[in-house]
Structure 1
Amino acid sequence: MQQAPLIRSKEAYRAWVKADLEAARLAGWRFGMGLRHPTVHFLRVLRRVEYRKNCPPGPLGRLERALLLVYFRLLSIYLGFTIPPNTCGPGLRLNHWGTIVISAEARLGAGAHINVCVNIGLKNGKAPHLGDDVYIGPGAKLFGGIRLGDGVRIGANAVVTCSFPDNAILAGVPARVIGDRTRKTRKQPPQDEPG
């Protein structure tokens, strides 16, 4: 599990925006798409805020950063998101708009998929760190200084308070492993024999 780097150049900014578009299965962005895809529009603004926060701005850049921060805050309130800059890697997919809360100390790797009513929060001053390609089901809660490996799947309404390895499938309160993505977890239906 390796933490994604920050956006520190125009090229990195473009690459992260492209990864977010690909995660939403969009080939490109055109004027007016923000109304049809508000979560992707939010991600585009988030990435621009990250770019402006991490790269030394000139005089116009400082003005743009100030205006962006105000717009970002209003958009966050409208969509119900509390997602601080520099917490999520590229290829983030927000499956629905509605309440999503992520602590500023949390770190999510590339390709995370987050559903509505998810809370990734602090416990004893520590926040979760997630690997790449993590899916978080609706209503899931993750707390504390836990670490989740790459490819983890978290079921709806699960409460995750301890660390789990790569490819674990989690469910329940408290969350426990119910499967492993590297092994077949479902039984195959019986095949009819030719007769």
Structure 2
Amino acid sequence: MTHQHGETGHALHLAGPVAVVACLASAAVALFHLRLLVRAASHRGQWFLPAETGHVAVAAGMAVMFAGPLWMTSSALFAAAYLGLALAVLVLLLVHPVCRIPSLWSSCSMLVVEALAMAYMSGAGGRPVGDLTGWFVVVFAGAGLAAVGGLLVRRVAPAWAGAAPVAPVGTRLVMYAGMMLMLVY
């Protein structure tokens, strides 16, 4: 991460109200996906348990990064946890047949990128890990545009749009906007 922070500060230097709103929005997405995870565990449906678990972990981690203490969010353990999540989801993406469903493939592949971004932003315990910020910003901006574009196409030409995404557009936009806020602020 290219930002410098004092040991007593938060992981991000956002203005109080911005950090609170971003934290609450991320926590709301985590709770939304936790509700889907509980529902998926009790009923068979379109939800894929490992992906929902990953979404809960990333959204909850974002909430912590917006409001948590620097010692936690820039620790090697925090970075390793998200790097491990990214690798686990990548393996699932490559070997699990459910991940071949287009909407789930898209969700799982973005989850890999989100978890990698979380590991990157944690700074691997404060040590530099290279400058991938520009790449992550382009990916999340493109994903946000695709989410909005897909929604518009489904409204205008539903037959042409294909299957609806697994995660609602609102939760995806909160995640991508939050990621971009963390990356560029």
Report the TM-score range of the alignment, normalised by the length of the smaller protein. 0.3 to 0.5
**Which structure has greater strand proportion?**
1
* TM-score (structure 2 length as normaliser): 0.39
Greater relative CO (CA pairs within 8 A, separation 6+): 2
